[in-house]
Structure 1
Amino acid sequence: MDFSDLGKMKEMMGQAKLMQEQMEKKLAATVVEASSGGGVVTVRMNGKKELLRVKIEPTAMGSSASDLELLEDLIAAAVNEAGRRADEAMKSSVQGMMGGLGLPDLPGLG
């Protein structure tokens, strides 16, 4: 390995660090929304999968234990769907960024 190879490696490492910083900013800025129960429960989540907001329609409030269990299930379903949407959004972003590097397709990233 000669000095030009080391210089190329340093440049690649710098680009990788820059991409990581850009991705972290994009994760924080990406917001997805998902709902369940026909819109009874709606959640917002960022790309880091941090739950930002939970909205529950007043009609969801019942007085029985089964109403409470249903509401809990609807919240879980909405959060899980938002997580899937966050994953999809980030996968798309990563593929776009990787495409700009001119790298070959790697198994598991496409």
Structure 2
Amino acid sequence: MEVESVNTTSRVDVLEVESANTTSRVDVLEVQTVNIAAKVDEMEILSTDMQVLNEETVNTTSRVDVLEEALAEIMLELAQLKEKPGGGGSDECERCRNLGLG
């Protein structure tokens, strides 16, 4: 019976160690779950930031397009004014003078 008692004690010790290991593994998994949740939150924030940047890029591109179109119109108007007799002189449009184009 002493041998059985020692074996039982050993089994209990093994079970306690296994239980401690399982508890440690559960703790590690809980920490990993928290880390994964934090990374998911960070990715969602980054995704939102990217969407905002994309919208700002579209808005900036639209503004650049509008400005380029306005500049093209002004340059065309200036070229037309310069083609007129006396167009290169002091009779150029007020807008061109104000912009420093004429």
Q: Normalised by the shorter chain, which TM-score bucket? A: 0.3 to 0.5
For the pair shown, the structure with the greater C-alpha radius of gyration is: 2
Structure that is richer in strand per residue: 1
Structure that is richer in helix per residue: 2
